[in-house]
């Protein structure tokens, strides 16, 4: 393959992610492009480190070019998350989408993907999600296929469906992961969530779990949710946001009540979540409310990619930017012609700067 494309978050990057990047090379990739979530990640949280720092880590770990997945996609459910990533992958010449899966069998995943083209199956999935089932569990129950019981299989299947739905013919390749159903890393590797929790508690991270350059950046950052919760409480109570992405049956009103009765973000999550409304959905909807993401599923599917924000490029690989077939932004100045001020992504960046720490907005050219 010429250009391997990996859709990722690296929140933060660990040795399991490094393994995925290395595996793409071993599979024959000449170049590796990463499409990475920015300031907001799919779990409904602000990223642990700013997007340019995380992109630098990806470049140091082996990526040649790292570009941004816009916030409206990174804060969406699996089908729209996949659609956003695949739309960008379609704009990279000679692209092969590379992803990890528990089964490691691309043919089996392609066959399973066909089940999701059945409207009746999708209606059952929506019904189960409304009842509080997690997305992988809902898909597994609706299809009766064990492949859907594992989250990385499910996301891989969504990638394959997005390739079909966008009408493109990019190829795909999967790398087998040996992981437990609730892990985000192969067996024997740390998870990103465990690294975040360790760093947030002020404890030392095992240096074998993540590269030294990631460890250094994690150890000099604080992870206090107090500022974010203050903004969240204000937005839910004072602004009375409506029409937020993935709101259903007045869930925003439930979040508003939980915010009023809570003094910390942890209390809020506990009060708002239920068997029907999972903690992940509560956090994702809350963050969408704060940044005013009012895109619908259909709008995200139809939304064109007008430009791509480049986060990092390995030095000596600058010529690879010509492999991308839409205009590129490498700074605030070069984004200006696209009128992105106060876009969903821009609002997510401003929130991150206010609640976490300020960061620059120029592409990093990384010496490996």
The pTM score is: 0.93
Q: What radius of gyration, in Å, describes the C-alpha atoms of the chain?
A: 19
Q: Would you say 232 and 292 are in contact if contact means Cβ atoms under 8 Å apart?
A: no
Distance CA 57, CA 366 (A): 9
Distance CA 368, CA 354 (A): 31
Q: Which of 86, 1, 31 is nearest to 320 (CA)?
A: 31
The tokens describing 144, both together, are 């009766």
Longest Cα separation, the chain: 55
**Helices (H), ranges, the chain:** 15-26, 51-61, 71-74, 78-89, 106-115, 119-130, 135-143, 151-165, 192-200, 212-219, 226-234, 251-260, 265-272, 279-291, 297-302, 332-335, 344-355
Chain centre to alpha carbon of residue 241: 23
- Residue-wise pLDDT tens for the chain (368 aa)? 899 999 999 999 999 999 999 999 999 999 999 999 999 999 999 999 999 999 999 999 999 999 999 999 999 988 999 999 999 999 999 999 999 999 999 999 999 998 888 889 889 988 888 787 777 788 889 988 888 888 889 899 999 999 999 887 799 999 998 654 445 555 567 889 999 999 988 899 999 999 999 999 999 998 889 999 999 999 988 766 678 998 877 788 899 999 999 999 999 999 999 887 889 889 999 999 999 999 998 999 999 999 999 999 999 999 999 999 999 999 988 988 886 667 999 999 999 999 999 999 999 999 99
Give me the domains of the chain, ranges plus CATH numbers: 3-222+303-366 (3.40.50.620), 226-297 (no CATH)
The tokens describing 44, both together, are 């409904």
């Amino acid at each position: 393959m010429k250009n391997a494309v990996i859709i990722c978050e690296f929140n933060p990057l660990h040795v399991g992610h490094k393994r995925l990047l290395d595996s793409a090379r071993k599979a024959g990739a000449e170049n590796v492009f990463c499409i990475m979530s920015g300031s907001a990640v799919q779990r409904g949280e602000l990223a642990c480190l700013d997007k340019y720092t995380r992109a630098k880590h990806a470049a140091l770990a082996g990526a040649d070019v790292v570009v941004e997945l816009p916030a409206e996609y990174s804060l969406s459910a699996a089908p729209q998350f996949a659609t956003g990533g695949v739309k960008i992958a379609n704009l990279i010449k000679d692209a092969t989408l590379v992803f990890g899966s528990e089964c490691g069998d691309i043919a089996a995943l392609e066959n399973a993907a066909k089940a999701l083209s059945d409207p009746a199956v999708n209606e059952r999935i929506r019904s189960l999600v409304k009842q509080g089932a997690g997305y992988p569990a809902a898909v597994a129950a609706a299809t009766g296929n064990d492949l859907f019981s594992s989250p990385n299989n499910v996301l891989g299947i969504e990638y394959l469906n997005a390739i079909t739905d966008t009408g493109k013919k990019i190829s795909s390749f999967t790398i087998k992961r040996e992981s437990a159903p609730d892990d985000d890393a192969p067996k024997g590797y740390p998870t990103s969530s465990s690294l975040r929790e360790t760093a947030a508690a002020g404890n030392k991270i095992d240096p074998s779990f993540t590269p030294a350059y990631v460890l250094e950046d994690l150890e000099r950052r604080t992870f206090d949710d107090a500022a974010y919760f203050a903004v969240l409480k204000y937005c839910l109570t004072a602004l009375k946001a409506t029409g937020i992405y993935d709101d259903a049956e007045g869930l925003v009103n439930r979040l508003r009540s939980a915010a009023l009765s809570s003094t910390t973000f942890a209390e809020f999550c506990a009060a708002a979540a239920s068997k029907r409304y999972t903690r992940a959905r509560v956090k994702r909807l809350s963050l969408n409310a704060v940044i005013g993401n009012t895109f619908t599923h259909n709008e995200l599917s139809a939304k064109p990619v007008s430009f791509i924000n480049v986060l990092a490029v390995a030095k000596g690989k600058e010529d690879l930017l010509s492999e991308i077939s839409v205009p590129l932004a490498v700074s605030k100045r070069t984004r200006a012609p696209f009128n992105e001020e106060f876009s969903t992504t821009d609002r997510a960046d401003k929130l991150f700067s206010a609640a976490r720490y300020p960061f620059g907005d120029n592409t990093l050219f990384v010496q490996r």
